[in-house]
Amino acid sequence: MNEKGTKRREWIKTIAIIFLVILLILTFFSNTIMNYSLPEVAAQYIQSGNINAQIRGYGTIESGDPYTVKIKTVRKVESVEVRQGDKVEKGQVLCLLSGEDSTELETAKEALKVAEEAFEMALLTGSVDSSIMNNAGNTDSIQNYKEKIILVQNELDTVEAEKDAADSKVKEWQDKVDAISLQISVTASAVVDTTNETKAVNDAKTVMDNASFALTEAKNVLETIEAQIEQQMSISSGDSVALEELNQQKLGAGQNVINLEAAYKTAALNYEKALKVLEDKKATNNVEANVASLERQKALLEVELNNAKKIAMEKEANMTSKQAELDTLVKNISDEINLGSLYDTVTKAKAEVKRLEDMVEGSEIVAPISGTIMTVNVKSGLDTPEDGIVFTMQPEGEGYTLSFTVTNEQAKKLAVGDVAEPVNSWRYDDMQIVLSSIRPDTTNPGQNKLLIFNVSGEDVVPNQSVNVSVAQRSGGMYEMVVPNSAIREDNNGKFILIVEAKSSPIGTRYIANRVDVEVVASDDTQSAITGALYGYEFVITTSTKPVEAGQYVRMPE
pLDDT for 298: 80
Cβ proximity of 85 and 368 under 8 Å: no
Q: Is 438 helix (H, G, I), strand (E, B) or coil?
A: strand
pLDDT for 100: 57
How far is the C-alpha of 495 from the C-alpha of 488, rounded, in Å? 5
Cβ proximity of 97 and 119 under 8 Å: no
Query: Mean pLDDT lowest for which of 356-370, 389-403, 414-428, 529-543?
Result: 356-370
**Arithmetic mean of pLDDT, 322-343:** 71
Residue 81, CB half-sphere, CA atoms under 13 Å: how many? 15
Question: Measured in whole angstroms, how far is the alpha carbon of residue 542 from the centre of its chain?
Answer: 57
pLDDT for 483: 93
Beta bridge partners of 54: 471
Cβ proximity of 456 and 486 under 8 Å: no
Q: Does 223 have pLDDT greater than 70?
A: yes
**Arithmetic mean of pLDDT, 497-518:** 86
Beta bridge partners of 388: none
Phi, psi of 72 (to 5 degrees): -85, -25
Beta bridge partners of 284: none
Confidence of residue 131 (pLDDT cuts 50, 70, 90): low
Residue 457 CA: distances (Å) to CA of 174, 396, 553: 110, 12, 53
Phi, psi of 82 (to 5 degrees): -135, 165
* Segment holding 527, helix H or strand E: strand 526-531
Q: Does 340 have pLDDT greater than 80?
A: no
Q: Does 138 have pLDDT greater than 80?
A: no
List strand residue ranges (DSSP E) for 37-180, in order.
41-45, 47-51, 54-60, 62-63, 67-70, 77-80, 87-88, 93-97
How far is the C-alpha of 314 from the C-alpha of 325, rounded, in Å? 17
Confidence of residue 531 (pLDDT cuts 50, 70, 90): very high
How far is the C-alpha of 109 from the C-alpha of 103, rounded, in Å? 10
Residue 443 CA: distances (Å) to CA of 410, 435, 450: 17, 20, 10
Burial string for 156-184 (b: 16+ CB within 10 Å, else e) reads: beebbebbeebbebbeebeebbeebeeeb
What residues have CB less than 8 Å from 201, skipping those under 6 apart? 271, 274, 275, 278
Q: Is 487 helix (H, G, I), strand (E, B) or coil?
A: coil
pLDDT for 500: 92
Q: Does 186 have pLDDT greater than 90?
A: no
How far is the C-alpha of 451 from the C-alpha of 455, rounded, in Å? 13
Mean pLDDT over each residue of the chain, to the nearest integer:
79
Q: Does 486 have pLDDT greater than 90?
A: yes
Residue 470 CA: distances (Å) to CA of 77, 284, 436, 455, 457: 45, 133, 13, 14, 18
Helix axes 103-124, 287-359, angle to 10 degrees: 150
Percent of the chain exceeding pLDDT 90 equals 11
Confidence of residue 337 (pLDDT cuts 50, 70, 90): low
Q: Does 438 have pLDDT greater than 70?
A: yes
Q: Does 545 have pLDDT greater than 80?
A: yes
Beta bridge partners of 10: none
How far is the C-alpha of 318 from the C-alpha of 155, rounded, in Å? 10
pLDDT for 167: 87
How far is the C-alpha of 206 from the C-alpha of 217, rounded, in Å? 17
How far is the C-alpha of 13 from the C-alpha of 10, rounded, in Å? 5
User: According to the per-residue pLDDT averaged within each range, which of 127-141, 181-195, 454-468, 480-494 is highest?
Assistant: 480-494
Q: Does 46 have pLDDT greater than 60?
A: yes
What type of residue sits at position 68?
T
Q: Does 362 have pLDDT greater than 70?
A: no
**Arithmetic mean of pLDDT, 410-421:** 83
pLDDT for 278: 76
How far is the C-alpha of 297 from the C-alpha of 254, rounded, in Å? 55
Percent of the chain exceeding pLDDT 70 equals 78
pLDDT for 125: 62
Q: Does 544 have pLDDT greater than 70?
A: yes
* Cα maximum dimension of the chain: 186
Confidence of residue 477 (pLDDT cuts 50, 70, 90): confident
Confidence of residue 351 (pLDDT cuts 50, 70, 90): confident
Q: Is 198 helix (H, G, I), strand (E, B) or coil?
A: helix
How far is the C-alpha of 83 from the C-alpha of 499, rounded, in Å? 61
Eight-state DSSP code of residue 90: T
Between 364 and 332, name the one with better pLDDT.
Answer: 364
Q: Does 487 have pLDDT greater than 90?
A: yes
Radius of gyration of the chain (CA): 60
Instruction: List the one residue out of 113, 48, 45, 61 whose CA is nearest residue 401.
Output: 61
Q: Does 408 have pLDDT greater than 90?
A: no
pTM above 0.75, yes or no: no
Residue 50, CB half-sphere, CA atoms under 13 Å: how many? 5
Confidence of residue 87 (pLDDT cuts 50, 70, 90): confident
pLDDT for 427: 66
Provide DSSP, 212-266. HHHHHHHHHHHHHHHHHHHHHHHSTT--HHHHHHHHHHHHHHHHHHHHHHHHHHH
Query: Mean pLDDT lowest for which of 288-297, 509-518, 521-530?
Result: 288-297
Confidence of residue 485 (pLDDT cuts 50, 70, 90): very high
Confidence of residue 127 (pLDDT cuts 50, 70, 90): low
Q: Is 400 helix (H, G, I), strand (E, B) or coil?
A: strand
Would you say how long the chain is, in residues? Answer: 557
